[in-house]
Amino acid sequence: MRSIEKNYGNIVALAGVSFDVRPGECHCLLGDNGAGKSTFIKTMSGVVQPTRGQIVVEGRPMSFQSPRDAMNAGIATVYQDLAMIPLMSVARNFFMGREPTTGWGPFKRFDVERANSVTMAEMKKMGINLREADQAVGTLSGGERQTVAIARAVHFGAKVLILDEPTSALGVRQTANVLSTIDRVRKQGVGVVFITHNVRHAMAVGDRFTVLNRGKTLGTSQRGEITPDQ
């Protein structure tokens, strides 16, 4: 993001935000309610267009008119609601909306076996052993669901992964699992933007930390420069 401004009428949601993430890095964006985090996410993921400023991907200025444009540029967003259907299987959710990329096409039969085996393998890599691939997403814990959503984005080619408060609704153990999922995908070379208001969660996996306040960044710290008590 280069000097991104976003106004809603005369409300300034982002007042000139510059932010970058590199391959294999976890860059945490910390901010309280009203800081502009939702607007930041929406701008980066093509849901809204900035009033001023640019999004640059691998040196190229982009103009995202839709979430599809951002996805095509390799920017994937995992929202808190995860965009999953609880009664459907993990595999169905994993491949939802992606049928064309598999070559099966919307009117062809969904290849359950293939979807199941890919999904099982991807989840295993993330440390989750599904009982069966047609296990419904709704039977998974909140942390496991986050991991499904993250694995799905990475499987389909995310270079940058934006995570919207992935740990905010989770208990201690599920949080630890999600943080280790973040660490895993980071090590695979994905650039992670971890949006959170929890400093400790950020400290656990972050390489850089930027604070957003009233639509402005208050500065960036490297890992090691700050301690959780500051």
- What is the sign, positive or negative, of the torsion defined by CA atoms of 139, 144, 149, 153? negative
**Which is closer to ligand ADP, CB of 1 or CB of 120?**
1
Which spans of this chain sit near ligand ADP (rule: CB under 6 A)? 8, 11, 13, 31, 33-39
Query: Per the structure block, which two tokens stand in for 200?
Result: 């400790």
Decide if 6 contacts 14 (C-beta within 8 A).
Answer: yes
Tell me if 7 sits within 8 A of 15, measured CB to CB: no
Straight-line distance from the first to the last Cα atom of the chain, in angstroms, rounded to the nearest whole number:
27
Comparing CB distances to ligand ADP, the nearer of 2 and 214 is 214
Beta carbon of residue 197, minimum distance to ligand ADP (angstroms, whole number): 8
Length of the chain in residues, anyone? Answer: 230
Choose between 78 and 133: whose C-beta lies nearer to ligand ADP.
78
CB of 72 to ligand ADP, least distance (A): 23
- Least distance (Å) from ligand ADP to the CB of residue 211? 12
* Minimum gap (Å) between residue 213 Cβ and ligand ADP: 9
In whole angstroms, the minimum distance from the beta carbon of 63 to ligand ADP comes to 20
Is the Cβ of residue 46 or residue 89 nearer to ligand ADP in the bound state?
Answer: 46
Which is nearer to ligand ADP, 39 or 116 (by Cβ)?
Answer: 39
Rounded to 5°, angle at Cα 157 from 151 and 160: 85
Tokens at residue 222, please?
């490297």
Residue with tokens 């200025």, as numbered in its chain: 61
